[in-house]
Amino acid sequence: MYDLILVRYGEMTLKKKNYQSFLKQVNTNIKARLAKFPKLTFSSTNFRFYIHLNGEDYRMVLEELDTVVGLSSYSLCLQVKPDFDEIAAAGVALINYEKEGINISFKVETNRSDKNFPATSLEISKEIAKRVLPKVPGLTVDVHNPDIVLSIDLRTEGTFVYVKTLPGLGGLPSGMSGRGLLMISGGIDSPVAGYLCLKKGIDLTAIHFASPPYTSDMALQKVIDLLQELSKYTLKEEINLLVVPFTKIQTAIHQKADSAYIVTLMRRQMYKIADMVARKENISVLINGESIGQVASQTLESMAVINEVTNMPIIRPLATYDKTEIMEIARKINTYDISIRPYEDCCTVFVPEHPVIKPRLKNVLVQEEKCNLEALLPEAVAGIERYTVSFKNKISIFEKNTFEI
């Protein structure tokens, strides 16, 4: 039914002087993602990208476009000559194809970018509506709340008619915003934080803290499965995962520190290690799924004390989100059901009944000194293992190689 898909760019159009570099990147990303469809051809302008279907199944193409960040929306189009008869005939065909029910309403909207067409936008809309209305049984006009909007886009590169526009992911093209280290636990929040950063063009590496035997292999597999879902939004459809052996550090804290400070001390060591890894990997920011006030370690006072161990920028995309909002996004990106698998991560090990929620730095430093943790940090970093998680190839926890830092 459709000739092509008209793609509109997202917020990158606001980049002014840098727009061309963003444009080049997003066009490259689209072509790379759609390379599996050999019949497709492409054309573009500064404001639109056109995917010529040439017989390919548009539904399968749309599934791939839904994973490309940097796109505002796309419309399924018929391309016609700039002629009233052809435009009206395309409109009739599209309305008949997409309409649901016997009696429906419509209106016509025209964007006349090509000023050579001999009529104004309003005149074109009226003329096309007059020609389409009697050709579709049960069709009526409603300019305020129509069931279907017949859109006509008259441009110098062609005339495009469509009734169906779908939202894209928005954001910035993959790889345009530098690299970030995602601290992923296996819960609901951190994968959502990673997804939101991917939408902003950040290239992710993930770091996970494992504490065997307190945490199981299935907890690690859960993290791998979460990252596999996220990897489909990346340019190469893969994310590197760094797994830190955290058992000795966590055990030392549990044995030597006041139990109320266990969570605070544990989080501080995680940040120290993440800082060390990020600097070695030339990664410029840390990312996590913290939401203000959600748990003891996420009060403003706790965040400040935990954050004290690093001067690296930390992105908290979910800081002001409610849990219901986070869960809604998790379901949308297919991570929710994975996150709620009943396998504990190290953040739930040795959690005290009454953790301190407003820690003071001087007290935390006293507790930290008791644990003699500084010697354990390089050991944990040296034991890091790397997994390459790919959307195309599901891996198990037994497929790994050592990451040397």
CA 89, 91, 94, 98 dihedral sign is negative
pLDDT at 15: 67
Element (H, E) at 268: helix 262-280
Distance CA 102, CA 138 (A): 6
CA 64, 69, 74, 79 dihedral sign is negative
| Mean pLDDT, residues 226-242 | 95
Average pLDDT of the chain is: 91
pLDDT over 70 at 395, yes or no: no
Are the CB atoms for 250 and 211 separated by under 8 Å?
yes
Element (H, E) at 162: strand 158-170
pLDDT over 60 at 271, yes or no: yes
Tallying the residues shown for the chain, one arrives at 405
Classify domain 179-402 at the CATH class level: alpha beta
**Residue range 55-107, pLDDT digits in tens:** 999 999 999 999 999 999 999 999 999 999 999 999 999 999 988 878 999 99
Classify domain 4-170 at the CATH class level: alpha beta
pLDDT at 404: 41
Q: Considering only 1-10, 263-272, 327-336, which range has the smallest mean pLDDT? A: 1-10
pLDDT over 90 at 335, yes or no: yes
Distance CA 65, CA 162 (A): 18
pLDDT over 70 at 149, yes or no: yes
pLDDT at 19: 79
Phi, psi of 297 (to 5 degrees): -80, 0
pLDDT at 405: 39
| Mean pLDDT, residues 3-11 | 89
H-helix segments, 200-246: 217-231
| Mean pLDDT, residues 128-149 | 95
pLDDT over 70 at 12, yes or no: no
Distance CA 170, CA 259 (A): 44
| Mean pLDDT, residues 322-348 | 91
| Mean pLDDT, residues 274-292 | 96
Distance CA 402, CA 405 (A): 10
| Mean pLDDT, residues 266-287 | 96
Distance CA 214, CA 175 (A): 36
pLDDT bin (cut points 50, 70, 90) of residue 401 is very low
pLDDT at 402: 41
| Mean pLDDT, residues 282-303 | 91
pLDDT at 101: 76
H-helix segments, 346-400: 361-371, 376-382
Short-list 162, 151, 155, CA closest to 116: 155
**Domain boundaries, given as residue ranges, for the chain:** 4-170, 179-402
pLDDT at 13: 61
Angle between helices 247-256 and 361-371 (to 10 degrees): 110
pLDDT over 70 at 400, yes or no: no
| Mean pLDDT, residues 195-224 | 93
Judge residue 145's burial from the number of C-beta atoms within 10 Å of its C-beta, 0-12 exposed, 13-18 middle, 19 or more buried: exposed
pLDDT at 345: 75
In angstroms, what CA-CA distances link 14 with 22, 25, 174? 10, 15, 17
Distance CA 79, CA 153 (A): 10
Are the CB atoms for 273 and 377 separated by under 8 Å?
yes
How much is the CA Rg of the chain, to the nearest whole Å? 27
Distance CA 398, CA 401 (A): 9
**Residue range 28-65, pLDDT digits in tens:** 999 999 999 999 999 998 788 999 999 999 999 999 99
